[in-house]
Amino acid sequence: MAESGRTPQARALLQQCLHARLQVRPAEGDAAAQWVEVTSAPQLLRLFSGAIQRGLVIYVCFFKGADKELLPKMVNTLLNVKLSETETGKHVSILDLPGNILIIPQATLGGRVKGRNMQYHSNSGKEEGLELYSQFVSLCKKELAANSKCAEAGVVVEHGTYGNRQVLTLDTNGPYTHLIEF
């Protein structure tokens, strides 16, 4: 994690969800908006069984100077930190839950107050940010696929499209919000 006093390379915000829905493409002309959903279990199963395991929402922002060599450590930390609650109230990692993951690019997390406005001077540039974000998503998918518990449970990684408005609906049993800097 970033040592206090040093400018971080990346900031991640974690919230637990029972269900989350994110628009990945806005409506345009005749084409309806496209969405991804993260639920604790397949929707039908959930409707009938009421089973509620949690998923993890990861909001992520990269700063100027962020190095892609940071990404494996970052993904390793985020997927292994014990912040997901089992049905018996124990905290385990999202890999151990196992649960779904929704990744949301959130450049606003890099803002600093200046008077009554926010400034984003420390944020990574657009292309560089997109590249880091894409690799971050790929690495998360890879980790999930390589985890036998996750593969067996059929959990997935969904993610927002970089640079778009992140239209989000979130249903939680307590967001249990955590900030982790790298």
Q: By the criterion CB under 8 A, which residues form the site for a copy of itself?
A: 1, 4-5, 7, 11, 13, 59, 77, 80-83, 93, 104, 106, 108-109, 111-113, 116-118, 165-180
Q: C-beta of 115: minimal distance to a copy of itself in Å?
A: 9
176, 9, 2: which is closest to 94 by C-alpha?
176
The rounded distance, in Å, linking the Cα atoms of 40 and 58 is 15
DSSP, residue by residue, the chain: -PPTTSPPSEEEEEEEESEEEEEEE--BTTBPPEEEEEESS-HHHHHHH-----EEEEEEEEBTT--GGGHHHHHHHHHHSS-EE-TTS-EE-TTTTT--EEEEE-GGGG-EEETTEEE-TTBPPHHHHHHHHHHHHHHHHHHHHH-HHHHHHT--EEEPPTTS---EEEE-S----EEEE-
Q: C-beta of 135: minimal distance to a copy of itself in Å?
A: 21
Nearer to a copy of itself, 33 or 154 (CB): 33
Structure tokens at 41: 């279990």
Nearer to a copy of itself, 111 or 156 (CB): 111
Q: C-beta of 72: minimal distance to a copy of itself in Å?
A: 16
Nearer to a copy of itself, 92 or 156 (CB): 92
Nearer to a copy of itself, 112 or 154 (CB): 112
Q: C-beta of 71: minimal distance to a copy of itself in Å?
A: 16
Q: C-beta of 94: minimal distance to a copy of itself in Å?
A: 12
Nearer to a copy of itself, 154 or 174 (CB): 174
Nearer to a copy of itself, 83 or 97 (CB): 83
Q: C-beta of 130: minimal distance to a copy of itself in Å?
A: 18
